[in-house]
Structure 1
Amino acid sequence: MKAKQALSEQAAGHVPGPEDLTIDDVRAAAQRIEGAVVKTPMMHSITLSEITGAEIWLKFENLQFTAAYKERGALNALLHLSEEQMQRGVIAASAGNHSQGLSYHGSRLGVPVTIVMPKTTPTVKVMQTESVGGNVVLEGETFDDAHAHARKLEAERGLTFIHPFDDPHVAAGQGTVALEMLEVKPDLDCLVTPIGGGGLISGMATVARALDPEIEVIGVQAALFPSMFAEFKGEERECGGDTLAEGIAVKRPGEFTRKVIAEKVDDILLVDEPALEKAVSLLLQIEKTVVEGAGAAGLAAVLSNPERFTGKTIGLVLCGGNIDTRLLANVLLRDLARQGRLARLRITLQDRPGALFKVMRLFDEHNVNIIEIYHQRIFTSLPAKGLITDIECEARDAQQVERLVAGLRKSGYKVQMVELN
């Protein structure tokens, strides 16, 4: 009865508040979705703990069927619907993990699911959503356009709109992540949780405050999209840019979730793009797990703020693993470059026979592997007989590259390290 009343209040324009999300709601959601979502493992990371100086516990939500925690909230919301609502179907505006979670469980339950996405959505995301049963409608150039169209179709077709985050039923489902984490590790000092619209952290903070008010709850946002951070701090911040953490790139946080966060979250931190890239790379190299940028935001925050987290026992949610493989490859290669294991050397040569061979001999002497060679003869300010050569190379570490550069310069070559922006 409470669920149907909440749905009717939302439809009538009532904006829920923190009182509409309790630990009992999360526990009920856990019972409701049990067996239909993966109870993902939570494991202690010995190596990440050594790197960060904190005790790191990881919750592997990237191991859900659709590779994201969003299934939990989507399913809980679906199971609150009446029979009539289920028959008519549901609709959402999403180009991310919510669309797949809702489509998958809607299809499993026999509920028609319509997902409105901007026309600019990558084809792979459209295909992923359709592959799990969603009916995708492409409309508009931006997410706001897609959202407006979804609301229009909701009214025209009598569908039920399920918001990706600004809904107590969705947040209650997401909060089951914290229930499972604290079941495994009840003595956590801190939960560090990514924030996009705020559904996940609203559910998790509700659980933490009820079970142990001493647990510190800290949110994390990408520095390019500090929407909830700005609300929390009472600041004006611009949102926009190409962030690796596209799953939390939300310009307007939820009305409901911002109220919960203001009451139950201790702080929100921002992380920059290099920190996100490093976290994604570390999780793959150390934990052998693929995590998207948003899913790595918690680890990025711990790595970026050692003074804040050293010595604490920390729970991190790897909230999603849906990252484009080409993008992942770029992230890994850029991380190798930052470590100095990959380098690009720009060397000025004379354009004559044997010039490149002599340089390559020096690479061989220093046991540095050449990956690619680029010549530039035309677009250069050098004399006509001059030549700029970029050589991409691979070494054991930055020190080995430095010794090679020193050797090249000692042999009379002009060498410049091409820095990674």
Structure 2
Amino acid sequence: MDVGLFTANNIWMMICTALVFFMHLGFSLLEIGLTRQKNTINILFKNIFIICSGLILYYFIGFNLMYPGSFNGFLGFAGFGLDAPILANGSLDLSYNEGYTYWTDFLFQGMFAATAATIVSGAVAERIKLGQFMLFTVIYIAFIYPIVGSWQWGGGFLSTLGGEGAGFYDFAGSTLVHSVGGWAALMAIYVLGPRIGKFKEDGSPNAIPGHNIPLATAGVLILWLGWFGFNGGSVLSADPATTSIVLVTTCLAGAAGGIGSFILYYFRYKNFDLTMMLNGILGGLVGITAGADLMSPSEAILIGLIAGFVIIFGVALIDRLRLDDPVGAVAVHLICGIWGTLAVGIFGAKAGMTQFLYQLSGVAIIGLFCSLMAFIILTTIKKTSGIRVSTEEEEEGLDIHEHGMYAYADFRMNQHE
């Protein structure tokens, strides 16, 4: 083993792990910025809980469930726990992987697991009971996400559709992370129903503005930065050629998504909407994630541009269906995740009808499983303990009712003086 190369690869993977962790700050700022002041503490609490619980659950259950190796465990899945490859003398066995250590692998993948649940948090903001959300998160992170991940990244059946070297392809998780969270978000907003005042009597949507757009903008820029770790780390080494092209395609797709969304929104509504441009950037980043290592820069721009268009139509579709998604999570993570996954069969090194059908099959199988499991979990919680806060709690805000505090205490006190 080239120790110098191994060290360089491992350091790069640890840097990417830190960048993906930093994305949780971006998600937090985006969600609180696009929602109302009275629910800020509640949203922040959910995001912090997701990180803490997600890592612990991935340690005890998710990692081995997702990457079973030679032991296929109980009910066709891996056993529980984390059995680190430590030699008899107590030193770490570096034969685990040529690119990074066992521990680095665990931590990097654990960050992805937490991200999938964070997607749901924004969609259900301002009306879900905190305890019930936490229960759903625990079940979804512990079991649903790693089971789906094992089908592809763990060497499962999706990775070998059509035989060895063929099959479904998802480089960094347009479907395996973003759509997994997106399907759950869609089921959650369906089960929960819209916020009070979101729709008028005739069914048309009523805008409920977020309380801090500068924070939302900062959140998107942090997420964009974090995506360098999200996609760059998915190379699973510091290989100069692959890492460089992945970072270029990722960045260009995000930029094109922002341009595409603001242009289409302006032509449709004659308005320069910053929030749509922000979601367009995220849509472009989600869209390129499935094939960031396969695309040329020009193809990445085209994928991102189309993702920006998809955001506008996706948000309009959600409103037309009378579903309430305060941060646009379903349009960004689910619809653009589907687009990005299918784009692997349209553009890039794997383009072709056969690959497109593999991609379509993967989207359909994962979509059916995730939506069904999320719906069962959510409806069970709803029927047994209720899932939505009372009208009084929703109108007065979850911060004071669930947490007994305000996010901006001095500001609130000055308001009442």
TM-score bucket of the superposed structures, by smaller chain: under 0.3
Structure holding more helix per residue: 2
| Higher relative strand content | 1
State the TM-score, normalized to the length of structure 1: 0.26
